[in-house]
């Protein structure tokens, strides 16, 4: 049986047994967790894992839900939910970002932690997967309120994190300042400075050169490896012009590609001859969003996804490519800058169309790779140059991409199936080597 058929069988089984009658019943996080479980099930069948090991890999090691009180500037008290999930620690300490987003829930964080486990194993770094989040809109908070939320959340998850246990990093809605507050909160409780407790920190607190744009650089490298030829003149559209999408667009433009469209949550802009990405990034910083940029014509997110381009990069949130809009996708290559942007149903549609998809656990792995490099520097109290970081990042990305490409060709399976087979297989191997205690 073809692995594609196995994947369809898993998806059909989940549709009957687990999925609701209408997609609107489940939150986006629950849909992401369904997708993560379907991908794991396909890999488990491909690898021939027994049911017990499959269940173990599908179940998070630890899941914590906390209440985070927020004292607003006007004296009001609000309470929001916070989460930290450690999916697997068989290969090393847990690693994963912290996101601040109003739609964040336990299911979403669990799915993201699971994907992080496979991602770390795929690119060969000694981490397990984790993820955290707070269900809050950071844009609705003042800087002081944001600091209070961060420090209180960290205080609640303090028993779980540490440089040898669980190392957070920035994600949606968080940045290096958030990481600085986390490091300080942890260090105050420890009684001494612990820079290795987080990555993605400011340089002055032990951050690494190259970390800020690492995820974007990884997307660029993955895109060029997937194209397999000179990228000059290839057209690209970027959905999600945030800290990943904006720099990815810049790096691809610098490599000679023509960025014809970008969008963010407020809308997008299009210019067939190519956008001035440098000017657009400056506009977005000054105005807070993409719409209104004078160097192109307005378009919606849905219109961007349907553009006839060589490369489409979804770089925002999960589930943006689904059964409802994927039939209209014309891009020949999709490189996933976001986590889980393509649903399993959309994956099958894209496969039938002959569209190549570079999966998230490979394409956006640049961030966790340089996070690992930052952590190593912190643990050694030694810093590398930007050039050294770039070389190490490129080497790990190229090695992982080569392994995925080769397995995909050898077994006639998609890049996603190959990536999950490698990542899940390495974690399963680690479980086998360690054994089960007691």
pLDDT at 22 (0 to 100): 40
pLDDT at 229 (0 to 100): 79
Report DSSP state, residue 30.
H
- In this prediction, what percent of the chain has a pLDDT beyond 70? 95
Q: What is the mean pLDDT of residues 68-93?
A: 95
Q: What is the mean pLDDT of residues 226-251?
A: 94
CB atoms closer than 10 angstroms to residue 33: 25
Helix (H, G, I), strand (E, B) or coil at 109: helix
* Statement: residue 77 has pLDDT above 60: yes
Q: What is the mean pLDDT of residues 390-417?
A: 97
The per-residue pLDDT for range 133-170, each reduced to its tens digit, is 999 999 999 999 999 999 999 999 999 999 999 999 99
* Statement: residue 66 has pLDDT above 90: yes
- Looking at 165-228, list the stretches that DSSP marks H as alpha helix, in order from N- to C-terminal side: 176-190, 214-227
Judge contact between 206 and 304, C-beta under 8 A: no
Question: Can you say whether residue 205 is alpha, beta or left, with left for phi > 0 and alpha for psi between -120 and 50 degrees?
Answer: alpha
Phi, psi torsion values for 423, nearest 5 degrees: -65, -50
Sign of the alpha-carbon dihedral angle for 157, 158, 164, 165:
negative
pLDDT band at 26 (very low <50, low <70, confident <90, very high): confident
Out of 26, 95, 119, 131, which one is annotated catalytic? 131
Judge contact between 127 and 93, C-beta under 8 A: yes
* Statement: residue 7 has pLDDT above 80: no
The per-residue pLDDT for range 292-349, each reduced to its tens digit, is 999 999 999 999 999 999 999 999 989 999 999 999 999 999 999 999 999 999 999 9
pLDDT at 212 (0 to 100): 87
pLDDT at 317 (0 to 100): 85
Q: What is the mean pLDDT of residues 242-257?
A: 96
Average pLDDT, the chain: 93
pLDDT band at 14 (very low <50, low <70, confident <90, very high): very low
CB atoms closer than 10 angstroms to residue 27: 15
* Statement: residue 38 has pLDDT above 50: yes
pLDDT at 8 (0 to 100): 52
pLDDT at 25 (0 to 100): 78
Judge contact between 153 and 82, C-beta under 8 A: yes
pLDDT at 16 (0 to 100): 30
pLDDT at 24 (0 to 100): 52
Q: With residue 144 as reference, give the H or E element that holds it.
A: helix 143-157
pLDDT band at 438 (very low <50, low <70, confident <90, very high): confident
Q: What is the mean pLDDT of residues 273-291?
A: 95
Q: How far apart are CA 118 and CA 127, in angstroms?
A: 10
CB atoms closer than 10 angstroms to residue 362: 30
Report DSSP state, residue 138.
G
| Burial of 254 per CB tally in 10 Å (0-12, 13-18, 19+) | exposed
Judge contact between 217 and 224, C-beta under 8 A: no
Q: Which domains does the chain have, with CATH numbers?
A: 60-193 (3.40.50.10860), 214-363 (3.40.50.720)
Give the predicted TM-score (pTM) of the model.
0.92
Residue 330: active-site member: no
* Statement: residue 21 has pLDDT above 70: no
Q: How far apart are CA 370 and CA 198, in angstroms?
A: 12
Place of tokens 């990481």: 179
Judge contact between 335 and 219, C-beta under 8 A: yes
């Amino acid at each position: 049986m073809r692995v594609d058929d196995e994947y369809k069988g898993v998806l059909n089984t989940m549709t009957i047994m687990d999925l609701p009658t209408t997609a609107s019943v489940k939150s986006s996080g629950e849909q992401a967790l369904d997708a993560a479980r379907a991908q794991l099930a396909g890999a488990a069948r491909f690898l021939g894992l027994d049911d017990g090991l499959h269940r173990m890999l599908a179940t998070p090691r630890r899941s914590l839900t906390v209440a985070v009180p927020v004292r607003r500037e006007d004296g009001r008290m609000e309470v929001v939910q916070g989460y930290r999930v450690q999916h697997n620690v068989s290969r090393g300490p847990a690693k994963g970002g912290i996101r601040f987003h109003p739609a964040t829930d336990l299911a979403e964080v669990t799915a993201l932690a699971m994907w992080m486990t496979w991602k770390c194993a795929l690119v060969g770094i000694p981490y397990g997967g984790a993820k955290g989040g707070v269900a809050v809109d950071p844009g609705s908070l003042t800087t002081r309120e944001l600091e209070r939320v961060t420090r209180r959340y960290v205080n609640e998850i303090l028993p779980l994190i540490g440089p040898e246990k669980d190392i957070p990093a920035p994600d949606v809605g968080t940045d290096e300042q958030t990481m600085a507050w986390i490091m300080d909160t942890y260090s105050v409780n420890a009684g001494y400075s612990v820079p290795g407790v987080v990555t993605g920190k400011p340089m002055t607190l032990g951050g690494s050169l190259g970390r800020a744009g690492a995820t974007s650089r990884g997307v660029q490298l993955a895109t060029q490896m997937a194209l397999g030829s000179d990228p000059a003149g290839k057209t690209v559209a970027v959905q999600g012009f945030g800290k990943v999408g904006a720099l990815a667009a810049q790096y691809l433009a610098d490599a000679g590609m023509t960025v014809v469209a970008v969008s963010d949550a407020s809308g997008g802009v299009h210019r067939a001859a190519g956008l001035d990405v440098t000017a657009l990034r400056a506009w977005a910083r000054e105005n807070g969003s993409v719409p209104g940029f004078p160097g192109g014509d307005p378009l919606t997110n849905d219109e961007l996804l349907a553009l006839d381009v060589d490369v489409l990069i979804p770089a925002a949130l999960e589930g943006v490519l689904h059964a409802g809009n994927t039939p209209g996708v014309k891009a020949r290559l999709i490189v996933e800058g976001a986590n889980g942007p393509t649903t399993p149903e959309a994956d099958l549609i894209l496969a039938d169309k002959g569209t190549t998809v570079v999966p998230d656990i490979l394409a956006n792995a640049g961030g966790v790779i340089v996070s690992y490099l930052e952590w190593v520097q912190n643990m050694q109290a030694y810093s590398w140059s930007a050039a050294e970081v770039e070389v190490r990042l490129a080497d790990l990305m190229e090695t992982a991409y080569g392994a995925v490409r080769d397995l995909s060709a050898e077994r006639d399976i998609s890049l996603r199936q190959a990536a999950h087979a490698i990542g899940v297989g390495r974690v399963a191997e680690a479980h086998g080597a360690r054994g089960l205690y007691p």
